[in-house]
Amino acid sequence: MNRVNIIILFVTVVIVTGIWLFLDSSSKDNVDFVRALDASPSEFEREVVEVSIQSSILADTTYIFRPAQIRINSNFTYVNDFADFTIYEYDSEGNQKRKLTTTRGRGPGEIQHLTDFEVKNDTIWIADSQSMRVTSYSLSTGEYIDNYSLESRPMRVTVLEDGFVVLWLGAEKLFSKFDFQGNEIHHFGEIIEDQILHQLSMDGTIRSNGQDRFVYIPFYASLIYHFDSEGNKINILKAPDGVNFPSVRRDGPTTFAPDFLFMRDGFIDEDDNLYVYVTLPDEISQNDQDNNYPESYIDKYSLSSAEYVNSFRMHEHFSSVMYNPYENIIYASDFEKSFLFQLGRDF
């Protein structure tokens, strides 16, 4: 091979390699994440506080096949079983007081697929994504109150003083607010670029103060969105881990949600503090415990200042966790037992 051919071959290899690296990096940018419209996540260290803790068994939940969510209302704790959509009520001593047993079906008061529930005053509200409805029941009698038929699939529900808010799957915008007659009042929530293409990356939970505001806590990104009852964005809070909204993964006509849930659930107290249960995947975890559990925390935020405050580190992993700041109690459910952790003080 003469000198000219060697030079041509070398230049060709360099050009092809450059093109491959460019395409590969562009592809990764497209595959890894999508850009949030109004804020960018920032990575920063958690301020972990040391708090004394005493644990006890809240309830034997071996008969609950898959505890999916915990809700708190007054001095009672509610756990739903994702297997048969039964909701169990426990008092502060861990005694089961009542249970709401739903019937499978599409008739009045029947449920096809419970994806979320909310307890406010004497009413339980259930999001049924399969039937495209929100259904309400009396807490005291367990009787069906009303069905609200919707045009898309409600994945989550939270209740305000003058209506309820749903998080959609498959709608142009992420949220809608309805009055208690089932009339849509506001449709809002443009969070990321090309949002309609990445619906499965937008799943999360919505939690209200029970009056005039709510938060959207994404499962897959380190941003928390704070809205008023009219759908106006009040502020955006940054969570410590700096995780962007991931793009969905596609395999032919099939679309897959991201693999790992970071932020799981939350609770707003009367002082406008938000408490969020978080688990971290191995690649960003600093876990030094001798077990296979993901590193997990309860993170505290101030909604009024839109700032992260501090964190409490959980030393076990649970499928569902809720913190009650009024009693300084953490409720945690798993596939065998539900636990109560009494903290020595607030954090």
For 104-132, what is each residue's pLDDT tens digit? 888 888 899 999 999 998 899 999 999 99
- Per the CB < 8 A criterion, the answer to whether 267 and 299 are in contact is no
Separation of alpha carbons 304 and 148, rounded Å: 33
Domain residues for the domain of 258 are 37-343
Query: What band does 338 get if pLDDT is binned at 50, 70 and 90?
Result: confident
- Per the CB < 8 A criterion, the answer to whether 80 and 94 are in contact is no
Asked whether residue 11 is assigned to any structural domain, the reply reads: no
Torsional class of 94: left (φ above 0), alpha (ψ -120 to 50), beta (otherwise) = left
Compare 55 and 304 and report the one with higher pLDDT. Answer: 304
- Per the CB < 8 A criterion, the answer to whether 178 and 136 are in contact is no
Compare 280 and 184 and report the one with higher pLDDT. Answer: 184
Of 60-74, 170-184, 245-259, 268-282, which range is least confident?
Answer: 60-74
Residue 195: per-residue pLDDT = 92
pTM value is: 0.86
Residue 12, pLDDT above cutoff 70: no
Q: What mean pLDDT value characterizes the chain?
A: 84
Residue type, 155: M
Residue 285: per-residue pLDDT = 60
Phi, then psi, of 30 in degrees rounded to 5: -70, -35
Residue 204, pLDDT above cutoff 80: yes
**Closest C-alpha to 225, from 91, 45, 76, 38:** 38
Asked whether residue 91 is assigned to any structural domain, the reply reads: yes
- CATH code, domain carrying 309: 2.120.10.30
Separation of alpha carbons 240 and 337, rounded Å: 30
In this prediction, residues 282-299 reach a mean pLDDT of: 68
**Number of domains forming the structure of the chain:** 1
Residue 69, pLDDT above cutoff 90: no
Query: What band does 215 get if pLDDT is binned at 50, 70 and 90?
Result: very high
Asked whether residue 98 is assigned to any structural domain, the reply reads: yes
If you write DSSP's letter for every residue of 79-94 in order, what string do you get?
Answer: EEETTTTEEEEE-TTS
Q: Please count the other Cβ atoms lying within 10 Å of the Cβ belonging to residue 335.
A: 12
HEC readout, 45-81: CCCECCCCEEEEEEEECCCCCCEEEEEEECCEEEEEE
Residue 221, pLDDT above cutoff 80: yes
Residue 170: per-residue pLDDT = 82
